[in-house]
Amino acid sequence: MNLAEGRWNGPILDNHFHLDKAGRYLDAALDFKRAGGTDIVLVHKPDFNNLPIDESAIRLAYEGTVEMAENTRTEHDLRVRVVLGPHPATWVHQAAELGFEVAGELHLSAVEMAIEFCDENLAVGVGEVGRPHWEVGDEVLEHADQLLTEVLGMCKQANVPAQLHLDANGEKTNEEISKICDRVGFPRFGAIHHHADGNISKQYTHGLTSSVVVGRDAIKDIINSIWQNEGGFLMETDYMDDPKRPGAVLGPKTVPKRTQQLATSLIGMGIDAEASLSAIHVDLPDALYGEYE
């Protein structure tokens, strides 16, 4: 049993975690481990001071993320899955300089290369891709949705999940993205809404997989909607490892801490906490990404 005396002793996965060699890097991963964490989904973090402008630069950047994952496994005996892809903010910045067409071609090349890394078992998914999270105007958003439609079509063909960076317009965004998924035949389940709200009801998520950023009120919001959840959910910090923003978005210890809080809440509600936490930290990640090798 992984649950004893109300405490979860099983695997704990942070579904969206960044590392940076210029940041705390391995020390941040060690904080996660010491708090009880066992599994990280390491998501590629763009260098906005040095954005790639050709395929060789994209490959070099991806290889840096893969290397950080391997070093984290070796140094701290953590299980690390890798997700690679071009952040939508990268495309917005490049479109302003290169134009929509050239920036879009570079974006899709980056997705294609991320899929190649998946084929080589160096990554398990594409991300973070999607929409800019700030106000950009209708023209930019329309282009972003056209790109996302192509990206999800590519992920469907490759049979890989996608971690999505989206605007914070709640159910409206979830509904719009679900329609894009349906349009290209990409399963909503494989569309992982990164930095999602704690409302995990099916009516709110529209079938997307929520990766809930577990801030202070997240457990309360999860508990209030868990009866209407279908398909499960994941937990994340969106830890940035940015020396200019220490602790942003949430610190490395947060998911282990919130997992224990969720265990207490589930037990109090009479819900099978062991089954629920196994689903979050083992079963759903395995279903999305494949069993850890």
pLDDT band per the 50, 70, 90 thresholds, residue 293: confident
Query: Mapping DSSP to helix (H, G, I), strand (E, B) and coil, where does residue 201 land?
Result: coil
The mean pLDDT of 11-36, rounded to a whole number, is 98
What is the C-alpha separation between 148 and 236, in angstroms, rounded? 22
Degrees (nearest 5) of the Cα angle 241, 128, 8?
A: 65
pLDDT band per the 50, 70, 90 thresholds, residue 98: confident
CATH topology for 10-289 is: TIM Barrel (3.20.20)
pLDDT at 121: 97
Q: Answer yes or no: is pLDDT of 135 > 80.
A: no
Domain residue spans of the chain: 10-289
The mean pLDDT of 232-245, rounded to a whole number, is 96
Q: How many CB atoms neighbour CB 122 within 10 A?
A: 17
Q: How many CB atoms neighbour CB 156 within 10 A?
A: 16
What is the C-alpha separation between 1 and 230, in angstroms, rounded? 25
Mean of the per-residue pLDDT values for the chain? Answer: 95
Q: What is the pLDDT of residues 108-133, one digit of tens each?
A: 999 999 999 999 999 999 999 999 87
**Strands (DSSP E) along 85-133, which ranges?**
125-130
What is the C-alpha separation between 50 and 61, in angstroms, rounded? 10
**Strands (DSSP E) along 131-272, which ranges?**
162-165, 191-196, 209-213, 233-236
CA 87 to chain centre: 11
Query: Mapping DSSP to helix (H, G, I), strand (E, B) and coil, where does residue 279 land?
Result: helix
Q: How many CB atoms neighbour CB 196 within 10 A?
A: 27
What single letter denotes the amino acid at residue 216? R
pLDDT at 9: 96
The mean pLDDT of 128-147, rounded to a whole number, is 85
**Strands (DSSP E) along 97-137, which ranges?**
125-130
Query: Mapping DSSP to helix (H, G, I), strand (E, B) and coil, where does residue 193 land?
Result: strand
Pairing mode, strands 162-165 and 125-130: parallel
Question: Which of 235-239, 241-245, 281-285 is predicted least confidently?
Answer: 241-245
DSSP state of 1: -
Query: Mapping DSSP to helix (H, G, I), strand (E, B) and coil, where does residue 159 land?
Result: coil
Q: What is the pLDDT of residues 165-211, one digit of tens each?
A: 999 899 999 999 999 999 999 999 999 999 999 999 999 999 999 99
